[in-house]
Amino acid sequence: MSLSTNLTDHLLVCAVVAVYLISGGRVSIGCSIVVLYALSMYDSAKNLKVSEAESDQVSLEGAEKQKKKTCCGGKGGSSCCSSGGSGKKGGCCGGACASKKKAQEELTLTSPNPEPSVDEPIAIDFTHAFKPARSSKSKTGTKKMPRLISRTAGGAKKDTGFFKKALTVSNEKLSNSQIYVFYSSLQGAAERSAKTVLETLSGMPELKRTPKLLNLDDLSDFDDYFVNVPGPDALYILVLPSYDSDSPLDFFLQSLQENANDFRIDKFVLRKLVGYAVLGIGDSESWPEKFCYQARQADLLLAKQGGRRVFPVGEICMKFGGDPKVAEWSKLLSETLRDDEPILYEYDETLDDEEPQGPEDELTKEPLIDLEDVGKSSELQDVSSVKKMIGKDSPTFKNLTKQGYTVVGSHSGVKICRWTKNDLRGRGSCYKHSLFNIVSSRCMELTPSLACSSKCIFCWRHGTNPVSKTWRWEVDDPEYILENALQGHYAKIKQMRGVPGVIAERFAKAFKVRHCALSLVGEPIMYPFISKFVSLLHQKEISSFLVCNAQHPEPLRDLGKVTQLYVSIDAPTKNELKKVDRPLYRDFWERLMECLDILRTTQSHQRTVFRMTLVKGFNMADVSAYADLVQRGLPCFIEVKGATFCGTSDGNGNPLTMQNIPFYEECAKFVKSLATELQRRGLEYDVAAEHAHSNCILIASTKFKINNEWHTHIDFDKFFELLNSGKDFDHMEYLQKTPEWALFGNGGFAPGNTRFYKKKRGQEIQDKEGQNLPESANTQPIVV
């Protein structure tokens, strides 16, 4: 108790005694005073305790205020000069922060019941919250997780721990997805295997939807599945063979790679898929180095674009009974789809360091690749490796030779057409005779590129000829191609010498080819040396008829002189063209427009022809839209031909039937209304000539009607004379009068030939040039 308190007490006692004496020393008053005094003493003792506690609180607040003025605001840590981090003990706060921190820590540690208030933040240590399943499981001896691919950039590995690990787990129910089984097959093994996969999956009662089977080579646009996806729950299974020579799969892989590098396409565009799995088939004995390499490429490309692998790539050698292994892979896949356990889609390989690799790692033999490195993988560089377009041992080679082609070098083909044989036997030439004066027995049909940049529905490519937007193969010399093509052609002519009815004179002349139709199958203008090749033809006085698909404006612009330049116009509108030609280019319509502009301008000196192939139900309705195209390209001629039915369309995606084949009358009606529409617009065109037998009718610019007589025929001697003169000349300088028999309405059958009516045992079939083919080729789809 303090001195001041004692003094107050003494004064109080004196005052009480004085009051007692003044009041006469009465006992009752004296007692009351003593009680009051005792009460007041108790109260003051209590107050003293409270004030002592308050004064402690005030002094703490004062210390807090002072702390905020220190170097670190009292936080200590590395920002405080008193902390260990600064290396200075004491610092500006004299070490108060540090000592305070220490005191607080001590308080916390010694506090018996440190119940935090609701508002206080709680610190939880997540370090061990996401232990990789693999590590923990393998320690207990249970199944190890498959090795999967990380999508994390190397630099980001260290700081994405929490989110990255959380992203690795997916709980999608795979059995709810719509499964698409894709395949690509040249000889049938992949198709068979895909069907096994399909059957196995279809037998799963858990699957909500029936799986679908799709041939990659029949897809008109890969983008429908590999840029867009058909639904939110699509799951893809790809069954792919490998070929070290060119195969349709090359184009698919090339497209995937282009998508991966196309800045307009979302980098992880295939994240929209529930997942994917690839089954590779191949031959490990004959191609040990390249065994199933294209399946692996596909797998990496799908992963690179965000696809989630739901099952490891299968690699099965088909040489020695691979079918049971395919069934086994399919069964394992179906078990995975059934299994609702989460799948580790992304994988942090740094977590692998936590334990040594087990023997299972050896078994998987799957190299762990960071997705960021996928593009640099040597496997992927192979996607765009330069191959021969048609290797001698390739199925495409066998297919083409079976169909009567002579494959020249690695990318050209020559074939003797039925009209050539017909003309040798005096049975008449093809429609090009009546329209333009080409004699079939002296014509060679050739293409320097068996590959094409379209997949036209009426083409008889059987889904086997290579497709690509650009040239991606080894290139043969033009001299080599011409020399060997002529040899191949003459060899076939020679075979005709024993055929009954061959006219000796025509047979002799046939050994000096006069015309070359650069069409056949494929896209000739894709050949990088097309102009040189054409000039070599001209040097041998062989006229050139070049047909192109209007998808390659650059080489079209650069093209040198040709005798006649064709552009195929297979449909008049963008939508119809996409349906009919199934072009590979996204900007196919713009390319067509550019080609038309080139015909009207840069190449207007040439004899230009629009070639239209009429397919009922596909491209015959919109005459006015065709007129728009004519107005833009202003060709010299419009050659209109009805498509021809050539048998079934088995497995090559050709949707045409006999119902799509127009009759001559329908073609004639179409041609007349097109001519009328052009005239209505003030464009000077009219119907000129025909070859009724081939359903072919010619509309010509009226500038070829000289003195009221059509001059659609070519004076070939004059053409070479002009060419050899070295002077510039144009299409109006080598004309010849159209003979009477060829004019529209007269049928177009040349005199001097005997009309031959074949007994119709099967469908009469024709090749791309409109030439009829032997009946043995009756499995071919529509060709024109």
Ligand X SMILES: Cc1cc2nc3c(=O)[nH]c(=O)nc-3n(C[C@H](O)[C@H](O)[C@H](O)COP(=O)(O)O)c2cc1C
What values do phi and psi take at 625, rounded to 5? -65, -35
- The C-alpha angle 59, 62, 67, rounded to 5 degrees, equals 130
Per CB under 6 A, the list member of 91, 132, 248, 282 interacting with ligand X is 282
What is the rounded distance in angstroms from the CA atom of residue 330 to the CA atom of residue 310?
13
What is the closest distance, in whole angstroms, from the C-beta atom of residue 319 to ligand X in the complex? Answer: 7
How big is the site for ligand X, counted in residues (CB under 6 A)? 25
Q: Is 415 in the site for ligand SF4 (CB under 6 A)?
A: no
Query: At residue 569, what is the residue type?
Result: I
Per CB under 6 A, the list member of 395, 463, 524, 662 interacting with ligand X is 395
Task: Using the minimum distance from each CB to ligand SF4, give the nearer residue, 616 or 768.
Answer: 768
Per CB under 6 A, the list member of 296, 325, 442, 461 interacting with ligand SF4 is 461
Q: Is 281 in the site for ligand X (CB under 6 A)?
A: yes
Question: Residue 187 binds which entry of ligand SF4, ligand X, none, with Cβ cut-offs from 5 to 8 Å by kind?
Answer: ligand X
Q: Is 301 in the site for ligand SF4 (CB under 6 A)?
A: no
What CA–CA distances, in Å, run from 571 to 47, 680, 782? Answer: 105, 21, 16
| 6-25 residues near ligand SF4, rule: CB under 6 A | none
Q: Is 241 in the site for ligand X (CB under 6 A)?
A: yes
What is the closest distance, in whole angstroms, from the C-beta atom of residue 634 to ligand X in the complex? Answer: 46
Task: Using the minimum distance from each CB to ligand X, give the nearer residue, 473 or 716.
Answer: 473
What is the closest distance, in whole angstroms, from the C-beta atom of residue 417 to ligand SF4 in the complex? Answer: 15
Q: Is 464 in the site for ligand SF4 (CB under 6 A)?
A: no
> Per the structure block, which two tokens stand in for 133?
């399943």
- The C-alpha angle 99, 103, 106, rounded to 5 degrees, equals 140
Task: Using the minimum distance from each CB to ligand SF4, give the nearer residue, 427 or 461.
Answer: 461
- The C-alpha angle 22, 23, 25, rounded to 5 degrees, equals 95
Task: Using the minimum distance from each CB to ligand SF4, give the nearer residue, 150 or 568.
Answer: 568
* Contacting range for ligand X; rule: CB under 6 A; set: 281-289, 405-413, 472-480, 537-545: 281-289
292: left (phi over 0), alpha (psi -120 to 50) or beta: left
What is the rounded distance in angstroms from the CA atom of residue 746 to the CA atom of residue 729?
32
Task: Using the minimum distance from each CB to ligand SF4, give the nearer residue, 314 or 466.
Answer: 466
Per CB under 6 A, the list member of 168, 334, 377, 394 interacting with ligand X is 394
Strands (E), 304-461: 314-317, 343-344, 406-408, 412-415, 443-447
Task: Using the minimum distance from each CB to ligand X, give the nearer residue, 381 or 624.
Answer: 381
What values do phi and psi take at 210, rounded to 5? -70, 130
Q: Is 571 in the site for ligand SF4 (CB under 6 A)?
A: no
What is the closest distance, in whole angstroms, from the C-beta atom of residue 322 to ligand X in the complex? Answer: 7
Site string for ligand SF4, 329-348 (x = CB under 6 A): --------------------
What is the closest distance, in whole angstroms, from the C-beta atom of residue 724 to ligand X in the complex? Answer: 45
Q: What is the number of the residue whose Cβ is closest to ligand X?
A: 282
Task: Using the minimum distance from each CB to ligand SF4, give the nearer residue, 437 or 454.
Answer: 454
Q: Is 190 in the site for ligand X (CB under 6 A)?
A: yes
Q: Is 452 in the site for ligand SF4 (CB under 6 A)?
A: yes
Q: Is 410 in the site for ligand X (CB under 6 A)?
A: no
Per CB under 6 A, the list member of 334, 454, 543, 738 interacting with ligand SF4 is 454
CB atoms within 10 A of CB 68: 9
Contact 429, 440 (CB under 8 A): yes
Query: At residue 94, what is the residue type?
Result: G
Greatest Cα-to-Cα distance within the chain, rounded to the nearest angstrom: 175
Contact 540, 512 (CB under 8 A): no
Query: At residue 300, what is the residue type?
Result: L
What is the rounded distance in angstroms from the CA atom of residue 228 to the CA atom of residue 385?
27
Q: Is 718 in the site for ligand X (CB under 6 A)?
A: no
> Per the structure block, which two tokens stand in for 186?
């040249």
* Contacting range for ligand SF4; rule: CB under 6 A; set: 246-254, 364-372, 428-436, 452-460: 452-460
* Contacting range for ligand SF4; rule: CB under 6 A; set: 209-217, 251-259, 454-462, 596-604: 454-462
What is the rounded distance in angstroms from the CA atom of residue 633 to the CA atom of residue 572?
13
Q: Report which of 254, 296, 250, 252 is spatially closest to residue 277, judged by C-alpha positions.
A: 296
CB atoms within 10 A of CB 205: 6
Long-range contacts of 33-41 (CB under 8 A, 24+ apart): 37/12, 37/13, 40/12, 41/9
What is the rounded distance in angstroms from the CA atom of residue 529 to the CA atom of residue 546?
13
Residues in the chain: 784
> Per the structure block, which two tokens stand in for 469?
């937007």
Q: Is 248 in the site for ligand X (CB under 6 A)?
A: no
Task: Using the minimum distance from each CB to ligand X, give the nearer residue, 317 or 699.
Answer: 317
Q: Is 583 in the site for ligand SF4 (CB under 6 A)?
A: no
Per CB under 6 A, the list member of 233, 283, 423, 523 interacting with ligand SF4 is 523
Task: Using the minimum distance from each CB to ligand X, give the nearer residue, 246 or 423.
Answer: 246
Q: Report which of 292, 468, 482 is spatially closest to residue 390, judged by C-alpha positions.
A: 468
What is the closest distance, in whole angstroms, from the C-beta atom of residue 458 to ligand SF4 in the complex? Answer: 7
Per CB under 6 A, the list member of 177, 185, 334, 441 interacting with ligand X is 185
Per CB under 6 A, the list member of 151, 165, 304, 455 interacting with ligand SF4 is 455
Question: Residue 190 binds which entry of ligand SF4, ligand X, none, with Cβ cut-offs from 5 to 8 Å by kind?
Answer: ligand X
> Per the structure block, which two tokens stand in for 564?
């006649």
Helix-helix angle 588-600:623-633, to 10 degrees: 50
Query: At residue 537, what is the residue type?
Result: L
What is the rounded distance in angstroms from the CA atom of residue 314 to the CA atom of residue 365?
12
Q: Is 412 in the site for ligand SF4 (CB under 6 A)?
A: no
The residue behind tokens 């395919």 is 326
**Running DSSP on this structure, what letter comes out for residue 145?**
P
* Contacting range for ligand SF4; rule: CB under 6 A; set: 449-457, 630-638, 717-725, 739-747: 449-457
Site string for ligand X, 341-380 (x = CB under 6 A): ----------------------------------------
Q: Is 291 in the site for ligand X (CB under 6 A)?
A: yes
Long-range contacts of 755-760 (CB under 8 A, 24+ apart): 755/427, 755/428, 756/422, 756/427, 756/428
How big is the site for ligand SF4, counted in residues (CB under 6 A)? 10
What is the closest distance, in whole angstroms, from the C-beta atom of residue 374 to ligand X in the complex? Answer: 21
What is the closest distance, in whole angstroms, from the C-beta atom of residue 582 to ligand SF4 in the complex? Answer: 8
Site string for ligand SF4, 537-566 (x = CB under 6 A): ------------x-----------------
What CA–CA distances, in Å, run from 475 to 382, 393, 622? Answer: 18, 18, 41
Contact 73, 64 (CB under 8 A): no
- Sign of the dihedral defined by the CA atoms of residues 204, 207, 209, 215, in that order: negative
Question: Residue 292 binds which entry of ligand X, ligand SF4, none, with Cβ cut-offs from 5 to 8 Å by kind?
Answer: ligand X
Give 241-285 as a DSSP string: E--SS--HHHHHHHHHHHHHH-TTS-TTGGGGSSEEEEEEEE-TT
| 102-121 residues near ligand X, rule: CB under 6 A | none
What is the rounded distance in angstroms from the CA atom of residue 702 to the CA atom of residue 686?
6
Question: Residue 466 binds which entry of ligand SF4, ligand X, none, with Cβ cut-offs from 5 to 8 Å by kind?
Answer: none
What is the closest distance, in whole angstroms, from the C-beta atom of residue 217 to ligand X in the complex? Answer: 11
Q: Is 407 in the site for ligand X (CB under 6 A)?
A: no
What is the rounded distance in angstroms from the CA atom of residue 45 to the CA atom of residue 470?
103
Per CB under 6 A, the list member of 217, 283, 370, 690 interacting with ligand X is 283
What is the closest distance, in whole angstroms, from the C-beta atom of residue 198 to ligand X in the complex? Answer: 15
Q: Which residues bind ligand X (CB under 6 A)?
A: 185-191, 241-245, 281-283, 287, 290-293, 318, 391, 393-395
Q: Which residues bind ligand SF4 (CB under 6 A)?
A: 452, 454-456, 459, 461, 521-523, 549
